[in-house]
């Protein structure tokens, strides 16, 4: 059985890792987007803009957000367990 300080410390590390993964997810999502000019479909129509996404950065976003969610759940569960186990 682990002591309460060690369990709480591990929980804080997991929650910190979740925060870092969340920041990585936000960064990769913002970096994945870019706007491009689209030629008009009909002659005389104005040109428009569209958003294109980089697939590798979208994949990084999905993996980072998944890791953030897993770390957050594990960290909160471990933190609650350490509080409930050791009054």
Query: Quick check: 86 pLDDT over 70?
Result: no
Q: What is the pTM of this model?
A: 0.81
Query: Total structural domains in the chain?
Result: 1
Q: What are the two backbone dihedrals, phi and then psi, of residue 39, each rounded to the nearest 5 degrees?
A: -65, 150
Give ∠ CA 55-60-64 in degrees, rounded to 5.
150
Which structural domain range is residue 55 located in?
A: 4-85
Query: Quick check: 58 pLDDT over 60?
Result: yes
Query: Quick check: 19 pLDDT over 80?
Result: yes
CA torsion through residues 7, 9, 10, 12, sign: positive
């Amino acid at each position: 059985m682990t002591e309460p300080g060690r369990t709480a410390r591990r929980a804080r590390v997991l929650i910190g890792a979740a925060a870092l993964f969340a920041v990585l997810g936000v960064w990769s999502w913002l970096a994945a987007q870019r706007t491009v000019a689209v030629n008009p479909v009909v002659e005389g129509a104005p040109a428009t803009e569209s958003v294109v996404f980089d697939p590798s950065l979208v994949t990084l976003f999905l993996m980072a957000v998944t890791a953030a969610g897993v770390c957050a759940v594990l960290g909160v569960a471990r933190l609650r367990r350490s509080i409930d186990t050791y009054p």
